Amino acid sequence: MAATVIDGKAFAAKVRGQVAEHVARLKEEHGITPGLAVVLVGEDPASQVYVRSKGKSTVEVGMNSFEHKLDADTPEADLLALIDQLNNDPKVHGILVQLPLPKHLDEDLVINSIAPEKDVDGFHISNVGLLGTGQKSMVPCTPLGCLMMLREHHGSLSGLDAVVIGRSNIVGKPMAQLLLGDSCTVTIAHSRTKDLPDVVRRADIVVAAVGRPEMVPGDWIKEGATVIDVGINRIDAPEKGEGKTRLVGDVDYASAAERAGAITPVPGGVGPMTIACLLANTVTAACRASNLAEPEGLTA
Amino acid sequence: MAATVIDGKAFAAKVRGQVAEHVARLKEEHGITPGLAVVLVGEDPASQVYVRSKGKSTVEVGMNSFEHKLDADTPEADLLALIDQLNNDPKVHGILVQLPLPKHLDEDLVINSIAPEKDVDGFHISNVGLLGTGQKSMVPCTPLGCLMMLREHHGSLSGLDAVVIGRSNIVGKPMAQLLLGDSCTVTIAHSRTKDLPDVVRRADIVVAAVGRPEMVPGDWIKEGATVIDVGINRIDAPEKGEGKTRLVGDVDYASAAERAGAITPVPGGVGPMTIACLLANTVTAACRASNLAEPEGLTA
């Protein structure tokens, strides 16, 4: 059986379309234009690409994008002052500080200085705590995107056996909370797990979020399982020519696709969903800020 | 094989002894007497018993106990004002608001008004978030007690398969976080879990925290597994005479003890550890408040 390919690019486009509709409605009915502020400290090339891409997507769905670029040696106090200003700016509904920060800045302190209701990355400890107790929160974008794809494919997730491989604060742990919130039986596996193949083999849903190229072979996948591959790893691709590289996930796609019922490709699976969910979180934050009903289907 | 009985009463006494030593040391070396404030609103009989018991234990280990009893119809603003006063009182290192609160009071609001560093119950969303991201936090007392017993019995928990039955915010979810922090492969099961017997059978560690009398029969337990029974359920005991009752756990003790390697009894297992951990959290909070090293073995 060939697996259904979960097309993250198409699904992300659909989510962005929904966001755009909500933005248009907020403008028309309430005179509100959702705004996302992105703060970049320093000149990390990858971060610059991400920030540019986020700004472009924000404008495309009709929202305001506010970019703040600070020197790599910006004192912490200046960064905190900027965040304070954004916290108090009613035109700004979402604030994202691009990580990683230069080493002289305390990432936890900076993230926790963002007003939790504007923390569209969902990294503030209050949001972690709200998610961890089943309350309304801002949910980290990547796991939210995975959840949306799983709900779209399965309808209800209740009672399904889900295995999350990886226990990062950004993906693995919040993913487990979200799956638990949707009533999966959730197992969190990681580098210390004794018999990972056995753990993965019993899962109806496998979310791989480790960052190790193709570490999950197809024969670990239960026949018919849904595989969500969060990994984006660049590896050498000599077959494409000397010095060439290609992107692969944490799952060996070719062999896993032979057994899975559904699978996300890399690239074009989870990746495109992350920015779409950032936009979704921003429109959700804008609605909450004005005590308006949240857009359906765009939150956990 | 007969299971080792994990004697919670004896272990709790040991923990209280360690706490008492730290309290004596804090007094002698630093002139600090750790203080625990307990707030009781209304006259719920069970809550009154708990509060009295907590106060007595607090004094027994040499700490200051501050009891605040408020009328059942106390306005929320008055309760919040009291908490604010306790937050700012340097003699108070731990604050516990006895739950449940009368219906006119917003429990989440009240709990989240406690200064997180004094929140010895570990229920403040900041503490949930800190625990959920592997940072230093105040850890809820019951799961902390379970963790201490597991560490005492196993030494390292790394790589063990742990199953937590129940996903409450007070026990199940923080227990899962603690086991994950100690590098178990953690599965959270609950009422929607499809094949609970099968899930429990693969566990090296079973933590049952559901509140359903004897719902886990012995034949679900893997040979040699460690069973931590958090349930305390009162059931009819006609064999003791008409109208008599007895306490049982969530696990069928007799049959489970035949297969388990180690098991906590009910009563006398997890129960006594909860107050001991409350005292441990208070002494930890007192140390942190003065930037002193935390007592070893009394925190997660």
pLDDT in tens, A285-298: 999 999 999 999 99
Task: Give the confidence band of B218 by pLDDT, cuts at 50, 70, 90.
Answer: very high
Residue range B139-162: mean pLDDT, rounded: 98
Shortest distance between the Cα of B6 and any Cα of chain A, in A, equals: 26
B166 is in an annotated binding site: yes
Q: Does the structural domain A141-272 have CATH classification 1.10.645.10? A: no
Per domain, the residue ranges of chain A are 30-117, 141-272
Which residue of A159, A189, A199 is in closest CB contact with B194? A159
Q: Please count the residue pairs, one from chain A and one from chain B, whose beta carbons lie less than 8 angstroms apart.
A: 98
Task: Verify whether the Cβ–Cβ distance B128 to A133 is below 8 Å.
Answer: yes
pLDDT at A2: 83
| pLDDT tens per residue across span A189-221 | 999 999 999 999 999 999 999 999 999 999 999
Do the two domains B30-117 and B141-272 of this chain adopt the same fold? Answer: yes
pLDDT at B1 over 70: no
Burial of residue B214 (CB within 10 Å: 0-12, 13-18, 19+) is buried
pLDDT cut 90: percent of chain A above it: 99
pLDDT cut 70: percent of chain B above it: 100
pLDDT at A24 over 80: yes
Q: What is the ipTM of this complex?
A: 0.96
B113 and chain A: CB distance < 8 Å anywhere?
no
Calculate the average pLDDT of chain A.
Answer: 97
Q: Taking the complete model, does pTM exceed 0.95, yes or no?
A: yes
Which residue of A130, A169, A190 is in closest CB contact with B125? A130
Question: Which residues in chain A have their CB less than 8 angstroms from residue B125's CB?
Answer: 125-126, 129-130, 132-133, 135
A167 is in an annotated binding site: yes
pLDDT at B93 over 70: yes
| pLDDT tens per residue across span A267-278 | 999 999 999 999
Residue range B240-265: mean pLDDT, rounded: 97
Residue range B243-250: mean pLDDT, rounded: 96
B85 and chain A: CB distance < 8 Å anywhere?
no
Calculate the average pLDDT of chain B.
Answer: 97
A192 and chain B: CB distance < 8 Å anywhere?
yes
Residue range A127-141: mean pLDDT, rounded: 97
pLDDT at B2: 83
Task: Verify whether the Cβ–Cβ distance A189 to B185 is below 8 Å.
Answer: yes
Fold topology of A30-117: Rossmann fold (3.40.50)
Instruction: Say whether A54 is catalytic.
Output: yes
pLDDT at A1 over 90: no
